[in-house]
Amino acid sequence: MRERITRGLRSPVLPTLLLLLSWLLITLGIWGPWVWAEPAGLRILGLDFAEYVKFVAEVQSGQIALVREVFYLPLVVLSLSLSLLAHRRELRLPGVSRWLLNLLAAPAALAMLPPAWTPLLLATPEFLKQTIAILVCLIAALISYPLLRRLPAVAVAVFVIALAGFAATLAISAFVRLRPALDVIYGHPIVVSSGVWQLAAGSVLLGVSVLLLLLPKRGVPPVTSSL
């Protein structure tokens, strides 16, 4: 039994499935509700917080200090990890699936665009940080196949794990600091919804799957591919 479990952990199929699940959970965490309310219009999605916090009085006055762009960091993780990993030879997926994952990195990046945006608006100081993040993610998506798939496995693993942990920690901690103000706005303690836990779980699972997928394993020959 122990040998079977060890063999399963060393198989590239398991980390591939875990990686796909991690991307799904992070996606649900971003586009899922973080604050639950019976009326749909009062639910706040994770993606909405970057704009929503601009209208919270305690944030405007500086009583709650936070950088609103931290709520875009999970999108950066999703987009960059897709670009960095989609074409890795260690990932056991057919070519069409690889290109589909690579393609999905672009809409993940473009989801950081502000409402009713224009090119001139994106160049203003208020939106410059997210504009740079969008450009970096789009460039990464473009060079995923010719360049990023050739990067050293250990370097990619360290970068993805560090970025995922950093992004989830900052976004969720900012939400925790914002919670007292949300309680006041809603008139009662808010109900923390599934999006927060899905983002946290997806980020942890992303790190675990990348460790299993990319870090060298004793006694296991390197993966070869004809791609």
Q: Are 214 and 186 in contact (CB under 8 A)?
A: no
Q: Are 43 and 168 in contact (CB under 8 A)?
A: no
For the record, the structure tokens of 159 come out as 């970068």
Angle, to 10 degrees, between the axis of helix 73-85 and the axis of helix 194-214?
30
Q: Are 120 and 60 in contact (CB under 8 A)?
A: no
Query: What is the residue-level pLDDT of the chain in tens, covering all 227 positions?
Result: 555 545 555 566 899 999 999 999 999 999 999 999 888 888 999 999 999 999 999 999 999 999 999 999 999 999 999 999 999 999 989 989 999 999 999 999 999 999 888 999 999 999 999 999 999 999 999 999 999 999 999 999 999 999 999 999 999 999 999 999 999 999 999 999 999 999 999 999 999 999 999 987 654 444 444 34
Residue that has been written with the tokens 């919670």 in this structure? 179
Q: Give the residue extent of every domain in the chain.
A: 13-214
Q: pTM above the 0.75 mark?
A: yes
